[in-house]
Amino acid sequence: MRGGVSESFRLDLLLVVFILFLCLQESSCSSLNNLKGSLIMDINEDTLLLETSPTATPQPLLPLLAPSPLAPFTNSTSPKLSGLCTLNFAAVKSMMAVTSIDCVAPFAEYLANVMCCPQLETTLVILIGQSSKHSNMLALNGSLAKHCLSDFQQLLVSQGANDTLQQICSLHPENLTEGSCPVKDVHEFESTVDSSSLLDTCGKIDLVNECCEETCGNAITEAAKKLALKAYDISRMDGPDVLSDHTTRVDDCKRIVHRWMASKLEPAGAKHVLRGLSNCKNNKVCPLVFPNMKNITKACGDGMNNQTKCCNTVERYVSHLQRQSFVTNLQALDCAASLGLKLQKDNVSKNVYNLCHISLKDFSVQVTPEVSGCLLSSLPSDAILDKTLGIGFVCDLNDNIPAPWPSMSQLPASTCKKSVRIPALPAVASGQISFKGLHIWSYLLLVASMILEVCCIYNAAILSY
């Protein structure tokens, strides 16, 4: 049955959509055949031929995360709002819906670093930016910030988001204020920075080049520095505030710059820019926490020759890591480099990645070594909600790339100079384009049906997990 699907669906899989939550209903298994029959007919052969590749067949993911009922989507609660917040929530209604799905209750923690928190942060920036069109203020005062944050959270939770987002994304009322930035008034902002050149530079960013050249990122920093300098105007030198850290001040002013940009751009355009910028930042660091690696040093350290024992230990360690979070392909590279360097410092000089066949996908959430994990693309797109199927998101399945063992003498390459062949940003972009001819839901459903099969097989295992 599975073979049939694979035969007719041999995409060069840069991307595949994964559906979570699918093993919930017993009926999933029985309805599978009907579903699949109609799906394959849905898909236009010509579209597929263009993408045909004799290699990778999609390997669906069944996340180890215990599935949880779809209740949040089917049974929205009504939010209890303070009635005191003056932000224009209507301006970002659809963006908040997307955020709720990106931060969906049971998976928020696993998606926090790559999807949930960046989207949450972006939505907040755009919310305040759009609201400033009326208030002329790019920040809220303390009391307003409290009410608005509470309302913001209530609105998200009522649409399925996790109710501990404040902890998960370290979100505080201060995130809605100006912090230590001395400028929050739109007119003062515009008379301080060269706003038209800022918009020219950042209005439309090239997501591929931005991470290397930081054209927009630098323009934002320059603008933030100008704003921060205002704190040192003689007229404002009035208190202990002056002593606070200049770097913090510049960072706080960057938030003001982001909000101003979000007031000048359409919400969708602003999101493109802001998520692009946060991706650049995110992809530079491995978000995983490495627990004590004494076990590996003992089993694989110099002088140890039992390969089986060494690899068992490495695999156990990595399987521990991959339960922490979904990561992007570039983050997986960062993680492989960090772990490799730490091991070498601890006298593990042999390339255990090679020895034990550790690949990049091993650093992201997955189930078993036989079932491919989900490594997100370097520009992760938002999660998708289907009311009947559940939550899906796009994974980079071109992930069976051996984890590169770092060289001690050579620092890990920057994001711009990664020498490993991974689906680079342009490839991801073209992958998305190539799916345009395909009805997205047909595609989703097809993958879903494949997962359902796995669900049926693994159902018992999950229930007992």
Ligand X SMILES: *[C@@H]1O[C@H](CO)[C@@H](O)[C@H](O)[C@H]1NC(C)=O
Q: Which residues contact 315 (CB under 8 A, 6 or more apart)?
A: 356, 358, 369
The window from 116-124, 208-216, 326-334, 407-415 that contacts ligand X (CB under 6 A) reads 116-124
3-class SS of residue 425: helix
The least CB distance from residue 95 to ligand X, in Å, is: 14
C-alpha pair distances (Å), 307 with each of 34, 350, 355, 401: 47, 11, 8, 21
Per-residue binding string, ligand X, 394-433, x by CB under 6 A, is ----------------------------------------
What is the DSSP-derived secondary structure letter of residue 417? Answer: G
Nearer to ligand X, 105 or 445 (CB): 105
Residues 119 to 138: which contact ligand X by CB under 6 A?
120-121
Q: Is 171 in the site for ligand X (CB under 6 A)?
A: yes
The least CB distance from residue 5 to ligand X, in Å, is: 30
Distance CA 453, CA 60 (A): 10
Instruction: Record the tokens describing residue 367, joined without a space.
Output: 């189930």
Residues 139 to 158: which contact ligand X by CB under 6 A?
141, 143-144
What is the DSSP-derived secondary structure letter of residue 413? Answer: P
3-class SS of residue 325: coil
Q: Which of 308, 409, 419, 464 is close enough to bind ligand X by CB under 6 A?
A: 308
Instruction: Record the tokens describing residue 128, joined without a space.
Output: 């305040």
Q: Is 247 in the site for ligand X (CB under 6 A)?
A: no
Q: How many CA atoms lie within 13 A of 216 on its CB side?
A: 26
Q: Is 76 in the site for ligand X (CB under 6 A)?
A: no
Instruction: Record the tokens describing residue 59, joined without a space.
Output: 């390997």
Q: Is 170 in the site for ligand X (CB under 6 A)?
A: yes
Nearest residue to ligand X, scored by beta-carbon proximity: 109
Nearer to ligand X, 40 or 304 (CB): 304
- Tell me phi and psi for residue 24, to 5 degrees: -80, -45
Instruction: Record the tokens describing residue 216, joined without a space.
Output: 């927009």
The least CB distance from residue 141 to ligand X, in Å, is: 4
Per-residue binding string, ligand X, 330-349, x by CB under 6 A, is ----------------xx--
Distance CA 322, CA 261 (A): 36
- Tell me phi and psi for residue 453, to 5 degrees: -60, -45
What residues pair up with 385 in beta bridges, in sequence order? 391
The window from 5-13, 117-125, 387-395, 413-421 that contacts ligand X (CB under 6 A) reads 117-125
The window from 7-15, 301-309, 358-366, 392-400 that contacts ligand X (CB under 6 A) reads 301-309
Binding site for ligand X (CB under 6 A): 74-75, 86, 105-106, 108-109, 117, 120-121, 141, 143-144, 162, 164, 169-172, 175, 291-292, 295, 306, 308-309, 316-317, 320, 346-347
